[in-house]
Structure 1
Amino acid sequence: MSADPEGPTGADADGAVLADGAVLDDIDARPGSTASLLRTLIGLYLRPLGGWISTAHLVALADDLGIPAAPARTGIARLKQKGLLLAERRDVSGYRLNPAAVPMLERGDRRIFAVREMTDADGWCLVSFSIPESARSVRHQLRRRLQWIGAGTVSAALWICPGHLQGEVEEIVDDLGARAWVTLFRGAHPVVARSPREAAAEWWDLAALRAEHLAFQASLASLPVEPFAAYVHLLDAWRMLPYVDPGLPPAMLPEDWPGRRSVDEFARLSAELADAASAHVRATVSRESA
């Protein structure tokens, strides 16, 4: 995934890449930016709308998010360049969701809307790799993407993540063509000389994760009043957390860990806003079409 100075992903963030190298999504991005809000909007609603939307509809919905028409059109063009959207004219000009992006968005749905938190009895996946210097870029991408799905660093070539993420690790390894250099192990409980909480604090940047949770919780006070805009902004602020926070078990977290409150608040607000937001999208498309 390439860095994007303007903003974060839509409804998924795992960095799928097309065969020709076009980036469908990226992770180095800023919540609340034009690019981020447009990706969130597209990830949420293009599939329920049948995978296609007119340019006018998309610009109108962007306007409801506070994005003026000119920046919206520029942002949409960038998403087309990155391969998330394909230009397709029907009765009017519009955009179709790239079919290659659908698996990425579906993985994002599972991560974002079905948050998994470990119990103390759950197992782990260990990722060991020895990648030659001739494939240094693969090694860099592997580490980058393991970090993005919430894996922790035991050492430079040994990473750890919840056992339920093994499938995502295998997809990453396959995407990078790194099978020959990577070995996965399933384990029950890490045996360390220090306490589980001390080990977790070494393997994950818990201070940074705490800051992400607190920033998300603070953002809830400034959500827009209108349900559609509030819901898209909610998703845009939230969608990164279920990736970078692996949902560690209680024994490995501080007593005052803010993760549970974030999950609860997201679930509560989603339940309040989602239906009204969807109704607004349908009404906008119908009204503009008429």
Structure 2
Amino acid sequence: MDASLAKPQVTGFYDKPTGSIQYIVTDSATRRCAIIDPVLDFDEKSGATSTGNADALLDFIAENGLELEWILDTHPHADHFSAADYLKRKTGAPVGIGERIVDVQALWKAIYNWPDFRADGSQWDRLFADGEIFHIGSLPVTVLFSPGHTLASITYVIGDAAFIHDTMFMPDSGTARADFPGGSAVRLWQSIQRILALPGETRLFVGHDYQPGGREARWETTVAEQKRSNSHVHVPTTEAEFVALREARDKTLPMPRLILHALQVNMNGGRLPEPEANGKRYLKFPLNGL
């Protein structure tokens, strides 16, 4: 059967504090599944971490008799901690991310003045290249390199579903910002065009939804719907128009409140800092660094 005709079962889990959507993608034939973009809870006011989001994913897997085969991130997130390391320690499932994570690591290693940090991607079990194919059960997964929002962003195309992270949001919310260190509105446009070249009926699952106008959270759209009505990239928007709009909009946006907290965890595979001599863990970030 044509891989594009496969229909994985997709379950989204919405984290309201960060507007993030976590996914469990299941191959119904084998009952094997993958987790995409899991969230480790963090309260920046108290410095407390917790595992409510990640444990809910594990509960769903257990209650439905699934076998976890992969723990996947689409990119190093700037607005929440990844729960990939916690889930790996709980389940033993391998963790994966795009191979250009090494570029993000090199960039932020300098920002954090972290000379001993291993910027070689070795914190993950698998680094995926553009065009690479792997499997969730019997479902083939094709990797699309999708930079622009970050240097390392990838899209997972699984049958008729694509997990497009922070490239496009729901049509009424447009597209993701491209002004983080290493970001590029031009590269984001190019990545979006690759996604929009997928068949029109392809289901697109976004990485965030901020509930514009107070509507209910939504996270599933299609290629055809994005082409028709995305407020930033609907046909016949040109590259020049998009880049001008995106760059002007980005100049008005504050940095995510957790970017300096999250990147030092997420560039390290979701690992929290090692405890110091007193048994406590400490985050480090530069003043005036951005």
Q: TM-score, normalised by structure 2?
A: 0.31
Larger radius of gyration: 1
Q: TM-score, normalised by structure 1?
A: 0.31
By percentage of residues, which structure has more strand? 2
By percentage of residues, which structure has more helix? 1
